[in-house]
Structure 1
Amino acid sequence: MDLIKNALINDVMNTHCSDPFGCLGLQESSSKIGFSLIVWQPEATSIRVLAIETDTVLAQMHQADNKGLFYAEWPKEKVRFHYRLEITYKDNSTHTIVDPYQFPNTTFIDPDHHQASLYKSQGAIRASAEINDQLTIQGTRFAVYAPAARSISVVGDFNSWDGRTHPMSSNGDGIWRLFIPDINHGARYKFEIRSKTGEILPHRSDPYAQRIEQFPSFSSVTCFDNKHQWQDDAWVNRPIEDLYERPMCVYELHLGSWRRKEDNQPLTYLEIKDQLVPYIQEMGYTHVELLPITEYPFDGSWGYQPVGLYAVTSRFGTPEDFKVLVDALHQANIGVIMDWVPAHFPADSHGLANFDGSKQYEYPDPKKGWHPEWNSLIYDFGKEHVVNYLISNAVYWLEEFHIDGLRVDAVASMLYLDYSREDGEWIPNKDGGNHNYEAIDFLRRLNETVYLNHPHCFTVAEESTAFPGVSKPTYMNGLGFGFKWNMGWMNDSLDYIKKDPIYRQHHQGELSFSMVYAFDEQFVLPISHDEVVHGKGSMITKMPGDSWQKFANLRAFSAYMYFHPGKKLNFMGNEFAQGREWSHERSLDWHLLETDFHKSQQALSKDLNHLYQNEVSLHFDHSHQGFEWISYDDSANSILAFARKAKDQDAHSIAVINFTPTPHSNYRIGVPKAGCYQIIMNTDDSRYTGSGYVQDQEYNTHAVSSHGREHSIELQIPPLAGVLLKWLGDS
């Protein structure tokens, strides 16, 4: 027949076809023949056409050749109909399928979506074709953006990974689509892409896949479970609060190494829920921050080399299991932050690199598109489809998994074209500078999308430079982040605390300098996973001195962090002074809690968290009105003293930190108001294995001027310790 000889059929048989609906399925034919049914099944030996609702045989198909092309014909009086195919294969097996090429409408009608919710229309979407009032065919609609491809097929277990069987169709908008009936939840699949040059590329995982298997298959998996019934209405619908005036103490967590089973296997999402939620509640953290839980192929990247931004990593369970974990945390009034990585992506062959034979996701020029520090690719933020892909992904986590905050990784690497590059290795912007205008525009658009549509949610930038306005609104020409990690505070304070106390008098400025810029941004004070890996040692091993002094130094540092303006973030294990450097391959050393020093550090961490939540003078940490220096220049004694003030300016507390092992029995400091001051935190208390240095619990002011103030108190200051005194009012 003439139709079988057309060019499209030839393209189908050679896996070059971009319009399989133009030649497969029911086709209108010549005046004598009303319809021709064309089927391409290269492994078939015979095919019968059955009625869609019954086993009635409508036709025995004829073989047009010995390559797998079959046809049947009906007179023009025949009304267009739906059908099934009973196929007998070369191995003598027989299977009945519903031919996808009879459903062009289901294939080409995109679900309603906006740019910020592309995940609802791309990837593998549950879909159905309505046959009549009584019958609807369920299946999966696949859609993938690959404008430079010559042809694309869906391959999977359902077609023996044969790229000849299910060619997709493109209408010229760059998106390839195909509805395949009877593919339901849990089907493994990938895309087989032929480039413009005719090369068949390595099978690609679906960029929008919500599940991706681990090595070696890296197969995408259809995910239509959606069985979880959220129980966090009270959390989701809580009144909108000003986060800047609320305490935020974050527990940074790597799911695979927080706790492990006896055989060193990681806990599942459901197993970790049962242990993590009560622990976080007891310890007094307000939020959990998860290292990236988007899918990644290499364990050693900890999730920071993701291939599968829409997929919850399958290492610990299913997406529904992860929802159960988030839900349980919310029911315990604990917010969930996830690390999100739009700064780079690896070049693994199943991922986005050279996706359709062209640079669809990465910058084409390696001077812009290759990250030398991480040996990974960089998203092309100048392409609209890339920006939409990333912003849709951010929205996906907020909407589908009720994530409360996105901590955006490596923002500095996005902002600067010369990041980790030498002269001649980067391309200046149009003005000759080193700012990546496209990335800046992307970040602003991201933050506007989050804050306009999800007022309970927030974003945090890991940004290590002096780029202005990172956490300022976009209408003030800022990037629009809610918070920024204070890397300057972290580096200076850690450099200081590592020094032997005898030398600290020469470095007092390393501690006081942070207050010069403390309110330029909305800061989080981070002691993150990056500070306890790669030979840096754990927090306790950074401390100088013998065992007692090490823990006393750590206690004083902990107090300094909690008394200092800024939200708090500590990596898991820091709360009980993890001994060994962190490794993603083993559990934290929970057995250390059998020893007094470690158990006492955990008790201090717990008390500091609860103190921080309950003491209003520590909450107003985004304005200079919430802070007042009392003494920052007593370098001879390595003592800092400052006041923290509540928003009403009457409620306040006094912080005094002694960074030497020398106690002081009569140390006078000026205070903001006359009255009585009571110690509400003392890290030298014997219950924290401190020295128990004898001191009064309350101090009445004297009309003795000190530090430029009319009233003062005379303290007993313990060694290597932080003390917080609360003003009780007029004495």
Structure 2
Amino acid sequence: MNAHKEQGKVGAFPPKADIEALIRADHRDPFSVLGPHADGAGGQYIRAYLPTALSVQVLDKDTQQERGSLEQGEVPGLFVGQFPDQRPYLLKVQWAGGEQISEDPYSFGELLGEMDLYLFAEGNHRDLSSALGAQCVNVDGVPGVRFSVWAPNARRVSVVGDFNIWDGRRHPMRLRHPSGVWEIFVPRLQPGETYKYEVLSHDGVLPLKADPVALRTELPPSTASKVAQPLSHAWGDEAWMQARGEHHGLNKPLSIYELHAGSWQCEINEEGEVRNYNWHELADRLVPYVQQLGFTHIELMPIMEHPFGGSWGYQPLSQFAPSARYGSPDDFAAFIDRCHQGGIGVILDWVPAHFPTDTHGLARFDGTALYEYDNPLEGFHQDWDTLIYNLGRTEVHGFMLASALHWLKHFHVDGLRVDAVASMLYRDYSRKAGEWIPNRYGGRENLEAIDFLRHLNDVVALEAPGALVIAEESTAWPGVSQPTQQGGLGFAYKWNMGWMHDTLHYIQNDPIHRTHHHNELSFGLIYAYSERFILPISHDEVVHGKHSLIDKMPGDRWQKFANLRAYLTFMWAHPGKKLLFMGCEFGQWREWNHDSELDWYLLKQSDHLGVQKLVGDLNRLYREAPALHDQDCVPQGFQWLIGDDAANSVFAWLRWSKAGEPLLVVANFTPVPREGYRVGVPFAERWEEVLNSDAEIYAGSNYGNGGAVATEPVHSHGQPLSLSLNLPPLAVLILRPVQ
């Protein structure tokens, strides 16, 4: 029986209101009209709304024999028919550009499980990146892509892409009450397809929206999401992952090389055009370099997809997708694997504080303030022209929690450095009186963000054991790195911004004035054990007119390099884990520019090469000498010997290992060599120099102590013995006892 013979029966065509809603593309429940529906007599109606289609035939799913045609009535694009029995079918659609045979998207039932929807609404779906977004799945044995997106206040959501000529009438989605998630399965769709969501709000159709849970994106400046195939990388880092928790112990060395993936090294042609290396090319160059320099970890500035390169990734829009600038998600997984197999950990900068206002992004995603606070006094960052996540909303809380776990679990990332924590903690952050809204108790603390950060750290400890979560937090908020059970925020470490500010201010002074700033180098020891600290010399210190690290140093060229070597040695000998931004390790003169690579040609000059050699030796000493790391976070690991010699700008201290093995550190921050300077020591017949930042191999003046100094039975600095040392100018000595 041909379908067209039956189309006069009641029910073959839907009610006029439904037809008009389909035409207007504002039907709230297209599945109630389209697809197969029982006719009450054992047969079924089949309806398809396919604007611009020329004709539609129905095929038997098993035999692919034609069962009949769907006929087009007065409404262009609306095809209907009635069939005597109910069985699986295919639609054969004739388009002006060719023929398409596939299952009917509206023949599939509900897709997401109730538990997925419940956990999402609760804000505790730990694997959201495998649930929402575009998932390559099989439904009833049919391969295709399941799309699902949260837009609770939308009137209609459609998925659009090249596969439906970006026509929002073709694939309107099903709303799953009460979660606010819309879903549809598009059969036979392949990985690599570009797509967005067309959202009809109560005020009209919005600009097309990228998928908030996209796993892959187009290359900027294009903004569409792409259907990603499931990660297929064959990991070879089992040994690293099993031992990761041991690597990250508080008593272990943690020395981090911070870099921007696009501008560490890149390819520049004769016309000056820049091509970013992909993840494989970057690994070929970066892994041996980091191994040579002895860093334990790298930290990547945000690699989550972001529309504006000039934001350096700190305004990301795709919290689950690695940037297409450097390759595919599998390429990124291979990069991390290469690092792990090379003994290098990988930390990612991650931004849960705010997001950009781009119309294709999260901003007013369904026509309402969905991911952000509605009130700009809560939801808009004036400094950064960005929107603030409303982490008090369970779905947003869970969205960001799932983003963190996505990188840690699916990509084997070893840690997240959480950007701009201070802006999350305070409702009045960078706001004047009257420009902010107090919390429910009338205070300035952002209680929702505090709850989120604590939950994040607790969940990471459970779901990704051994992974680090590090706070960039610039205020005196108490307990940032204290366990949540003790009322803290639960971070593994906090960046020591106070130390960074004070010591850089000190070192930029001409040595003749340093006597008046002596306490700036020693003040950090007063609070050094109030948190578990990382000492950061990050990208923020070498941009926006702040000068490069070496260009902050006073004096002539020789003094600048001597100051830089002394400062780096002081940093490595100071309690706290280490972080150094790329380019600082060889004394790049110019400020960092994200559009070009580092000035590697400088390494042809001995003074630049000397700084690089020093950083490598500092890292090796830091890793090999327990005194420099195994009591980093407890006061027993540090003992002042000389902290008050402001007149000579000299400092001396002991670093102690748990086994009672000390290292002596003596710093002279003036350009005056000091002969016979006495420093007390606790024991040993002689002390040998293990590092002198003024050594000839570092392009220094090579003034020192001939490799070792014998102790003398002279009490000094509360110690029974002492050394008479030659202190090189603008330099730091590190010595160890030899029995």
- Displacement, 1:460? 0.5
Tell me which residue corresponds to 2:218: 213
The alignment status of 1:159 with 2:164, answered yes or no, reads yes
SS of 2:318's partner is coil
C-alpha distance in 2, partners of 1:55/1:116? 42
Tell me which residue corresponds to 1:244: 250
SS of 1:104's partner is coil
Residue from 642, 645, 656 that aligns with 1:631 = 642
- Displacement, 1:11? 2.2
* Contact 2:575/2:638 (<8 A) preserved: yes
- Displacement, 1:398? 0.6
Tell me which residue corresponds to 1:174: 180
- Displacement, 1:419? 0.7
C-alpha distance in 1, partners of 2:663/2:482? 28
Q: Within 5 Å, which residues of 2 pair with 1:26-105?
A: 26-31=36-41, 34-75=43-84, 78=85, 80-89=86-95, 91=96, 93-105=98-110
C-alpha distance in 1, partners of 2:553/2:617? 21
SS of 1:574's partner is coil
Residues 43 and 109 of structure 1, relative CA distance in 2, 3 Å threshold: farther
SS of 2:664's partner is strand
Tell me which residue corresponds to 1:575: 585
Q: Within 5 Å, which residues of 2 pair with 1:642-681?
A: 642-648=653-659, 650-681=660-691
Tell me which residue corresponds to 2:620: 610
- Displacement, 1:180? 0.9
CA deviation digits over 1:124-168, x for unaligned, max 9? 1111122xxxxx210011111110011100101110000000010
C-alpha distance in 2, partners of 1:701/1:40? 93
The alignment status of 1:349 with 2:359, answered yes or no, reads yes
Tell me which residue corresponds to 1:332: 342
Residue from 474, 478, 493 that aligns with 1:483 = 493
Tell me which residue corresponds to 1:120: 130
CA deviation digits over 1:89-127, x for unaligned, max 9? 3x3632222211111144667769761211111011111
The alignment status of 1:202 with 2:207, answered yes or no, reads yes
Tell me which residue corresponds to 2:5: none
SS of 1:576's partner is coil
Matched pairs, number: 717
C-alpha distance in 2, partners of 1:447/1:155? 37
Residue from 710, 713, 738 that aligns with 1:703 = 713
- Displacement, 1:43? 1.0
Tell me which residue corresponds to 1:267: 277
Q: Within 5 Å, which residues of 2 pair with 1:326-725?
A: 326-619=336-629, 620-648=631-659, 650-725=660-735
Segment of structure 1 superposing worse, 80-89 or 353-362: 80-89
Residues 637 and 574 of structure 1, relative CA distance in 2, 3 Å threshold: same
Tell me which residue corresponds to 1:292: 302
Segment of structure 1 superposing worse, 426-435 or 491-500: 426-435
* Contact 2:135/2:145 (<8 A) preserved: yes
| Ranges in structure 1 where 5+ consecutive residues have no aligned partner | 131-135
SS of 1:412's partner is helix
- Displacement, 1:692? 1.2
* Contact 1:214/1:297 (<8 A) preserved: no
C-alpha distance in 1, partners of 2:40/2:485? 64
SS of 1:243's partner is coil
The alignment status of 1:305 with 2:311, answered yes or no, reads no
* Contact 2:136/2:230 (<8 A) preserved: no
C-alpha distance in 2, partners of 1:240/1:442? 24
Segment of structure 1 superposing worse, 245-254 or 424-433: 424-433
CA deviation digits over 1:419-448, x for unaligned, max 9? 111111001112222111111000000000
C-alpha distance in 2, partners of 1:119/1:718? 57
The alignment status of 1:5 with 2:11, answered yes or no, reads no
C-alpha distance in 1, partners of 2:61/2:196? 28
- Displacement, 1:2? 4.0
Residues 70 and 110 of structure 1, relative CA distance in 2, 3 Å threshold: farther
- Displacement, 1:240? 3.1
- Displacement, 1:67? 1.7
Residue from 189, 192, 195 that aligns with 2:195 = 189
* Letter in structure 2 aligned against 1:504: R
- Displacement, 1:310? 0.6
- Displacement, 1:319? 0.8
C-alpha distance in 2, partners of 1:327/1:81? 48
SS of 2:160's partner is strand
* Contact 1:8/1:19 (<8 A) preserved: no
CA deviation digits over 1:500-553, x for unaligned, max 9? 000001100001100000010000000000001001111111111111110000
* Letter in structure 2 aligned against 1:45: L
* Contact 2:111/2:183 (<8 A) preserved: no
- Report the TM-score, using the length of structure 1 for normalisation: 0.96
SS of 2:408's partner is helix
SS of 1:352's partner is coil
* Contact 2:26/2:156 (<8 A) preserved: yes
Percent identity of equivalent pairs: 47
- Report the TM-score, using the length of structure 2 for normalisation: 0.95
C-alpha distance in 2, partners of 1:555/1:616? 22
- Displacement, 1:689? 1.0
C-alpha distance in 1, partners of 2:373/2:279? 36
| Ranges in structure 2 where 5+ consecutive residues have no aligned partner | 1-8
